[in-house]
A and B are shown apart, each in its own frame.
Chain A
Amino acid sequence: MSPDSAEVTHPTSGARQKTVTDDRSGAVKLELTGVGKEFRTKRAHTVALKDINLTIKDGEFVSVIGRSGCGKTTLLRMLAGLLSPTTGQILVEGKSLWNGTKVDTSVVSQLGVVFQEANLFPWYSVAENIALPLQLRGVDKKTRLARAAELAELVGLGGFERSYPRELSGGMRQRVAIARALSISPKLLLMDEPFGALDALTRERMNMELQRISLATKATVVFITHDITEAVFLGDRVVHLTPRPGRIHQIRTIEFAKPRDIDVQTEPEFGAIARDLRHALDEDEKR
């Protein structure tokens, strides 16, 4: 953070929005109450996020969608323990992620994060990249490599364990990044526009792959995107954030059974949801 921006703390500005809960059963994985983020610089005071209330159940796949500038990346960075919230509370399995501006490392260590860029380490092989989080935890080499091989297989990179990142395509690199995030069997997988830098066809294939991987690992996923089709296709629920200040505008539950076929996108109901979201997003721009 730049030195001239300071974080401002003030009490939660009332619970004007009801906490949105899902009615399906299952343990609560992630709970956000009154989460907000303000940036204050000499010239401007920006409310990036305001009063975010969201509860995510075990095994749920939640897409977060919004125009650029709606604070969705800010939200993910707060969930990932990279940026402290100004107000509110983030609970992972009932344990608070943040104590003021200090992050609880024992909670962070249960998260897996995938960024827009794969951010692989070019000096490490695919297997070493995947196993890096385990290496940092002092897991022995044999166990590490076995786990890396297993995960490479899972993300469709079996046989590439000894390759180096430069030898891989963009999609393959992002698969490695996903495998790396999964290596520690995270309680929560956080993804910030992971396929934003990929071409449309690769992206579609990666969506299918991500669905398969998330079902196979029963992972709880928060998936940030600005692509409506992607959000609806993958999400059990789609959270729509509106900008200035960033807040939850609506949450749509997507009923299509999983695993979903790519053809689900041509179904009228899918089209209707996508159209609704599209209109809502267009409204955001006019505001």
Chain B
Amino acid sequence: MTRNRTRKLLPWISTPVIIVLAVVIWDIYVRVTDTPDVVLPPPGRVLEELVAALGTGEMWYHTWITTSETLSGFLIALVIGVVAGVVLGKVPWLEMSLRPVIVASQVVPKVALIPLFVVWFGFGITSKVVISALLAFFPIMLNVQLGVRSVEAGQREVMRSLNASRWQTFRHLEMKSTLPYVFAGMEVGIVLAIIGAIVGEYLGGSEGLGYMLVRTLNDLNASAMFATTILLSLIGLLLYFAVNALKRFLIPWHESVYAQQDLNG
């Protein structure tokens, strides 16, 4: 019992310890080797820079731009991905005929297309949203397609023997059964959506944290670059946990949720 409780608390203790340890080693390394700020600034300086940046409206503006690009792209990917996944999962001949194209589009490194999108959709927000959506779309669609296919034959038989209508079968069985797959796709998709937005900002435009990264790099301002990176990581974490929280709320019965709970408490 006590051992179990200790084990549940373990990640809450170990994570801060590891972070503090990493920062301390970083600090000592910079001091001992006397590394120039341009290469690796001490953690104290980065923190100062972060606090200072957050004090200005500019950083918040760029944060807002990147977040909204990511979320817009992700939501578009979610809607189109779920619809396409359901259609492909339900219509075998369509899936069969589109399979080569889908496989091909999976293999193509989509990041290579980003400059093209910048040319097509301009340097503004649109091109970033499109890139985000494109990257997040595939894992969502593929997972949904898999989910629609994975509805258990036995459970279908139960619905048939109960005279269930198409709508009832969808509502009580297919939708519920596919939801875990939707979330599996969303968890991958949200991460890819952020990557899409940032890389899009690298290559063109004058807004967003990706643009800030390039600018601070050009200024050789490493501490500002670190601060921006930390901010991006925090956004990524927050969005991921938001999706994860939604999953815990909507499918508490699924093993990916309760297994995690058994582990964490």
Contact = CB atoms under 8 A, between A and B. Distances in A.
B154 A115 contact: yes
13 contacts: A108-B163, A113-B158, A113-B161, A119-B152, A119-B154, A119-B157, A121-B155, A121-B172, A122-B254, A132-B172, A133-B162, A136-B164, A166-B258
Interface in A74-106: 80-82, 105
Contacts of A109: 163
Interface string B60-99: 0000000000000000000000000000000000000000
A204 interface: no
A254 to B, nearest CB: 28
Size category of the A interface is: 20 to 34
Interface of A: 80-82, 105, 108-109, 111, 113, 115, 117, 119, 121-124, 132-133, 135-136, 164, 166
Contacts of A122: 253-254
Interface of B: 152, 154-155, 157-158, 160-164, 168, 172-173, 176, 251, 253-255, 258
Given A115-B154, A115-B157, A166-B258, A123 B163 contact: no
Nearest to A107: B163
Contacts, number: 46
Contacts of B251: 123
Nearest to A81: B161
Determine the main DSSP class of B at the interface with A: helix
B154 A117 contact: yes
Contacts of B258: 166
Contact of A82 (B157, B164, B176, B254): B157
Contact of A119 (B155, B163, B164, B172): B155
A117 B152 CA distance: 11
A119 B153 CA distance: 9
Given A111-B161, A121-B173, A164-B253, 18 more contacts: A80-B161, A82-B157, A82-B161, A105-B163, A109-B163, A113-B158, A115-B158, A119-B152, A119-B155, A122-B253, A123-B253, A124-B253, A132-B162, A132-B172, A133-B162, A136-B162, A136-B172, A166-B253
User: Shortest 5 CB-CB distances between A and B: which pairs?
Assistant: A119-B154, A113-B161, A123-B176, A123-B253, A119-B158
Contacts of A117: 154
Nearest to A184: B162
Residue with the highest number of chain B CB atoms closer than 10 Å, among A82, A113, A136, A164: A136
